[in-house]
């Protein structure tokens, strides 16, 4: 899994941003993992100095000084974002796999962001929030329609009732008999034809 750099710049005050930036420059200077930082550390250092000067002038100053400070702040944040992408690329380079991506990112004075892979949604059915309804969900698809069917007689292949196809990967079926057990199935209709049915899934309607 690709490791991501977590900067969290938007949540930092100007003094915190200055401290974080200086720390990153210190950690990356002479660091063997980062022979040619992009942007150059000299550019980041210059932006740190410019923001520090603008911050000092804005303290007790007026709106014009504050506006200049925000401009310098945005510039430094942009450079740090680019630097984070550079560090991320080095960390995820297969040539550096033995060192570990987390260790490389931490050595730059930055943190790693935990990325949880999105789990595949499987077809399911449950009683709806309103009496006589059932809620069905399926895996999302980029292009195509979702076809839904239900029956109260699973032993009869001819008893399946079709609902109106949807673009959304979910549907609420109404008009069912409360307290009765129903069976549901689903398939995707794509440009190359329908898939096999998912299911059946069952639930007792409230």
pLDDT, tens digit (0-9, with 9 covering 90-100), for 173-193: 999 999 999 999 999 998 888
Residues 9/10/16/19 CA torsion (nearest 10 deg): 20
- CA dist., res. 166 & res. 186, Å (int): 11
Contact 47, 76 (CB under 8 A): yes
SS3 state at 89: helix
- CA dist., res. 148 & res. 111, Å (int): 45
Report pTM.
0.56
- CA dist., res. 137 & res. 139, Å (int): 7
**Which residues in the chain belong to E strands, given as ranges?**
4-6, 111-113, 124-127, 134-137, 145-151, 161-162, 170-173, 181-190, 193-194, 198-204
∠24-28-31 over CA atoms, to 5°?
155
**pLDDT at res. 107:** 94
ω before 39 within 30° of 0 (cis)?
yes
pLDDT, tens digit (0-9, with 9 covering 90-100), for 47-82: 999 999 999 999 988 999 999 999 999 999 999 999
Mean pLDDT, contiguous 10-residue spans, the chain (206 residues)? 84 93 96 95 97 94 94 96 95 88 92 66 90 94 92 90 94 95 94 88 92
Nearest residue to 83 via CA among 40, 30, 20:
40
């Amino acid at each position: 899994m690709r490791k991501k750099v977590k900067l969290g710049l938007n949540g930092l005050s100007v003094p915190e941003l200055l401290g974080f930036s200086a720390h990153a420059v210190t950690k990356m200077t002479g660091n063997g993992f980062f022979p040619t930082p992009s942007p150059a550390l000299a550019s980041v250092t210059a932006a740190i100095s410019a923001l520090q000067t603008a911050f000092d002038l804005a303290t007790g100053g007026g709106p014009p000084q504050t506006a200049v400070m925000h401009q310098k702040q945005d510039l430094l944040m942009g450079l740090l974002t680019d630097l984070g992408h550079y560090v991320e690329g080095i960390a995820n380079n297969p040539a550096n796999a033995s060192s570990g991506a987390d260790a490389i990112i931490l050595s730059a004075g930055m943190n790693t962001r935990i990325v949880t892979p999105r789990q595949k949604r499987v077809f399911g059915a449950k009683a709806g929030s309103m009496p006589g309804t059932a809620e069905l969900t399926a895996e999302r698809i980029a292009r195509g329609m979702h076809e839904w069917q239900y029956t109260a007689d699973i032993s009869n292949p001819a008893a399946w009732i079709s609902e109106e196809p949807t673009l959304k990967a979910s549907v609420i079926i109404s008009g069912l008999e409360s307290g009765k057990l129903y069976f549901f199935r689903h398939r995707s209709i794509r440009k190359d034809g329908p898939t096999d049915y998912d299911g059946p899934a069952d639930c007792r309607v409230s």
